[in-house]
Structure 1
Amino acid sequence: MSKKLAAYIFSLFLSGGVEATTLLNSSYDVSRELFIALNTPFEKQWEKTHPGDTLIIKQSHAGSSKQALSILQGLKADVVTYNQVTDVQILHDKGQLIASNWKQRLPDDSSPFYSTMAFLVRKGNPKHIENWSDLARSDVKLIFSNPKTSGNGRYTWLAAWSAADLINGHNYSKIEKFMTQLLKNVEVFDTGGRGATTTFINSEMGDVLISFESEVNTIRDRYPEKGYQVILPSVNIIARFPVTWIDKNIRQNHTEKAARSYLEYLYTPSAQKIITSFYYRVNNPQLMEKNKNRFPETRFLNIEEVFGSWDQVIKTHFASGGELDKLLAMRHQ
């Protein structure tokens, strides 16, 4: 680049002739690669329709609940793309940062995609893992993220509880026994889903990694030499991935139009195609039919139908003194 051209570009920035819009997406722990793939096409699309305005999308990742807390403590994210409704709702309930009707602002209760829980096992499936009942055997070691800090871990807990409920005919004492043994089998409780993956892959701990279907399939594909296998249990929980713009922050950051357009983009056919390529499920029957080989059938259970509202779920299972705390204490007895 010549000195004259460099000086000209610099003068344009000083004079406001070249603009740049920056969005910060606060997201859950294992979504890095997905949003890297989604961001570039949207940035190019934005710049075509907004000449002279360069768009830069930045990402922040950690456990979904931890991310929500960071926003309540002052992180100026423009949009959130989380993996559980409670982590979005708290931004209204505790911080008045978003509108009360946030779920109605975008289709499908503001969840452009969803997933479920799956098992990643080692080459040849040496422990013969097929379903949730196998995870409570005393010879099986498990890796999954902590339900206290991770949406990934909470969905794992709720899916396992639901399966135990069906297996044991709604007998609470048998469910309690199953879940206690499940907890005894956990070698490491990482704070987030990606930490659990790292423990299973790099530290080579555990016989089974339990994580989102999207994560375990991506890991299998990334390490073909490892011979990992993905097991989808016959009964499962729907894990929805809610999104919203942060009203207070986008007003302060002057990013209203870009933030809304970015989340609306997630529902477009081109974005949904990228999303399914990362093994997330979408509410597009035609696209799901085209990708049916990527998404085996399972019996889906809705959290609200099995457990009641998310507020009730948190109170019963994950609050201090709830089922998780009680059974964690029992596993040492």
Structure 2
Amino acid sequence: MQPITKKMTETRRLSISGVLAMSVLAIGCSSNDASQQDGSTTAHEQQNISLLNVSYDVSRDFYKDYNALFSQDYQQKNPGSKVDIKQSHGGSSKQAMSVANGLQADVVTFNQESDMNLLVEKGLVATDWQQALPNNAVPYTSTMVLLVRDGNPKNIKDWTDLARSDVDVVIPNPKTSGTARYAFLGAYGYGLHHFKENPQNHTKTDDFIKKVLANVVTYDNGARAATTSFTQRSLGDVLITTENEAHLAAKQFAKGQVDIVYPSYSILINNPVAVVATTTDKDGKTAAANTYLQGLWDEPAQTLMANMYLRPSDKKILAAHKDTLPAINTFDPVTVFDSWEQIMATFFVDGGRFDQLARVE
């Protein structure tokens, strides 16, 4: 079921608009990694390794820089070797489904645990993936913020302002985008907190969320497409997006045209990573894939995260960037709403609470 936007309500004719967030492949010179029958590779193949990182939409800028950092370090430590990293980006859940349906990812770097769980269920990712890397395999976190027009002409200060009838809202589609789910859950969690309700008693929160969703003018397929709608197509008064994407928009996509508003209470976003062993084992690339992900916890990578407005798991590096990554009051969705399996079943299945609240009577 597709959610109904404010624009549809006003015109009764328009369907939900969306700019498709195309999965982007960063070009690398890949080699055909043919494995020998015993699973080992030839010397030439060991020297030329190609890895595919299938990731969520707004991570592309970080991984583009990290890939260059990793490749240089890998070649210094392995003279004569070369590793090329390809990238594929799109809505997190769409990316997970692509891997489940056969996309040969070597590593996956998502923004939602449920997307990783899908690959575990399919037997593509190990059941103990969270124990394979530090910090439950979450190298960095983020949160949701509000991106508004320069000077904040609508005086948007917190989630409550998104329910006003004079405010148009832009978010991706929670059916395809992990970022959009965090946007919805961020607003919903704020509602429970603000109205002093809980997941079992949520009448006022539901009414609040109905008003917010009634103001949505477009549900794009991915977070970057939503950024494009807001910054280049000039749709909406406010974009609900991740902290790093908001800063990127403010400094690159729409410099001097937007401001960032930090809500008083927002959601914690964990960004899990894992090796897709079913791919790497058969191609003899598991060691390289593990090294690639382990490098995310090295100081240069953690510093790069902070410089790109992602919150590194290294607390010292995070503290050193307190001016650009201020302390925020957040809640963990698993603590408030239960497991991601329960979250998906309650809110995002067809006919779930999101569909119910997004429907215009």
**What range is the shorter-chain TM-score in?**
over 0.9
Determine if contact 1:29/1:63 at 8 Å carries over to the other structure.
Answer: yes
Map residues 114-193 of structure 1 onto 2, 5 A cutoff.
114-170=141-197, 172-193=202-223
- The question of 1:85 aligning with 2:85 is answered no
Q: Name the structure 2 match of 1:3.
A: none
Change over 3 Å in CA distance of 1:297–1:172 after alignment to 2:
same
CA apart distance, 1:226:
3.0
Cross-structure match for 1:11: none
Change (3 A) 1:286 1:16: closer
Q: Which runs of 5+ in 2 are unaligned?
A: 1-41
Q: For residues 164-313 of structure 1, what are the structure 2 equivalents within 5 Å? A: 164-170=191-197, 172-223=202-253, 225-313=255-343
Shift of 1:296: 2.0
Contact 1:143 1:209 in 2 (8 A): yes
Say which of 52, 57, 67 aligns to 2:85.
57
Shift of 1:32: 1.1
Distance 2:127 2:236 in 1: 42
Query: What displacement does 1:154 show?
Result: 0.3
Residue of structure 2 aligned with 1:314, choices 334, 339, 344: 344
Gaps of 5+ in 1: 1-13
Q: CA deviation at 1:17?
A: 8.9
SS in 1 for 2:151: coil
Paired residues of 2:74 and 2:83 also in contact (CA < 8 A): yes
| DSSP 3-state at the match of 1:34 | helix
* Alpha-carbon contact 1:232-1:296 (below 8 Å) kept: no
192-201 or 50-59, which moves further after superposition?
Answer: 50-59
Q: TM-score, normalised on structure 2?
A: 0.85
Once superposed, what is the RMSD of the aligned Cα atoms? Answer: 1.5
After TM superposition, give the deviation of residue 286 of structure 1 in Å. Answer: 1.2
Query: Alpha carbons of 1:195 and 1:165: their partners in 2 closer, same or farther (altered >3 Å)?
Result: same
Amino acid aligned to 2:88: S
The answer to whether structure 1 residue 96 and structure 2 residue 123 are counterparts is yes
Query: Which secondary structure does the structure 2 equivalent of 1:279 belong to?
Result: coil
Do the aligned partners of residues 49 and 164 (structure 1) sit closer, same or farther apart at CA in structure 2, a change above 3 Å counting? Answer: same
Asked if the contact 1:24/1:60 (under 8 Å) is kept, the reply is: yes
2:51 matches 1:28: no
Aligned to 2:234, what secondary structure does the other structure show?
coil
Q: Distance in 2 between matches of 1:317 and 1:17?
A: 46
State the 1:224 CA deviation.
Answer: 6.2
Measured after TM superposition, the shift of residue 182 of structure 1 is 0.6
Contact 2:55 2:108 in 1 (8 A): yes
Shift in Å, 1:223: 4.6
**1:17/1:25 CA distance change after superposition, 3 Å:** closer
Structure 1 CA distance for aligned equivalents of residues 43 and 354 of structure 2? 58
- Out of 51, 68, 71, which is 1:43 matched to? 71
Residue 325 and residue 272 in structure 1: after superposition, are their counterparts in 2 closer, same or farther (change >3 A)?
Answer: same
Greater helix proportion: 1
Call closer, same or farther: CA 1:46–1:140 in 2, change over 3 Å: same
Q: 1:295 to 1:226 in 2, by over 3 A?
A: same
CA distance in 2, matches of 1:16, 1:289: 44
Cα distance in 1 between the residues matched to 2:255 and 2:351: 44
The farther-off stretch of 258-267 and 295-304 is 295-304
- Count of residue correspondences: 317
What is the match of residue 68 of structure 1?
A: 96
